[in-house]
């Protein structure tokens, strides 16, 4: 604690003002402790987000849907209902407001149809940034992953 010359003079002239100074000091100390506790609480979440964002692996809708206890079909349709994505030529694509945010990437894969013909198709996969976007977006709609829903029960 540091006292300015002006504060010292005020205390000498009015000793009861010292109680006010101490009360303000205590209040500041309590606020600092509260902020430190909040930082300790939020730090693991911040570290987790940083870790996820550094990971460059992609996830399928099926993988993310499982976190929410849904099938990929139901999950994709839900995102479609919320105007996050639409289906074109068999591939889910993001609406323009989300398309350039780095939430998804398209991957080409080969397949063999039932007649033995080889074909190529595109599949949308979610980035870790997209996964966080989905979490925050869906949480705003009251939809949370199973693990989080269990914690609140």
Residues 27-47 have pLDDT tens digits of 888 898 888 888 787 776 676
For residues 56-60, give the mean pLDDT.
87
Predicted pLDDT at 124: 97
- What's residue 90's pLDDT? 92
Quick one: pLDDT at residue 4? 81
Structure confidence at residue 59 (pLDDT):
93
pLDDT higher than threshold 90 for residue 17: no
pLDDT score, position 26 = 87
Tell me the DSSP string of the chain.
----HHHHHHHHH-TTHHHHHHHHHHHHHHHHHHHHHHHHHHHHHHHHHHHHHH----B-HHHHHHHTT--HHHHHHHHHHTTSEEEETTEEEE-HHHHTTT-EEEEEEEEE-TTS-EEEEEEEEE-HHHHHHHHHHHHHTT---HHHHHHH-
Instruction: Give residue-wise pLDDT tens across range 88-130.
Output: 999 999 999 999 999 999 999 899 999 999 999 999 999 999 9
Under the banding of pLDDT at 50, 70 and 90, the label for residue 49 is low
pLDDT tier, 76 (very low <50, low <70, confident <90, very high otherwise) = very high
What is the reported pLDDT for 40? Answer: 81
| Domain residue limits, the chain | 5-54, 61-152
């Amino acid at each position: 604690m540091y006292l300015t010359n002006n504060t010292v003079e005020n205390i000498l002239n009015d000793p009861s003002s010292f109680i006010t100074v101490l009360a303000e000091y205590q209040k500041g100390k309590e606020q600092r402790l509260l902020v430190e506790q909040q930082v300790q609480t939020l730090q693991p979440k911040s570290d987790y987000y940083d870790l996820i964002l550094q990971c460059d692996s992609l996830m399928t809708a099926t993988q993310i849907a499982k976190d929410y206890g849904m099938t990929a079909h139901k999950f994709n349709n839900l995102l479609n209902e919320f105007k996050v994505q639409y289906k074109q030529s068999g591939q889910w694509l993001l609406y323009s407001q989300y398309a350039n945010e780095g939430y998804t990437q398209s991957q080409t894969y080969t397949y063999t149809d039932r007649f033995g013909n080889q074909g190529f198709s595109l599949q949308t996969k979610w980035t870790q940034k997209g996964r966080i976007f989905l979490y925050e977006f869906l949480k705003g709609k009251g939809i949370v992953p199973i693990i989080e829903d269990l914690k609140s029960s």
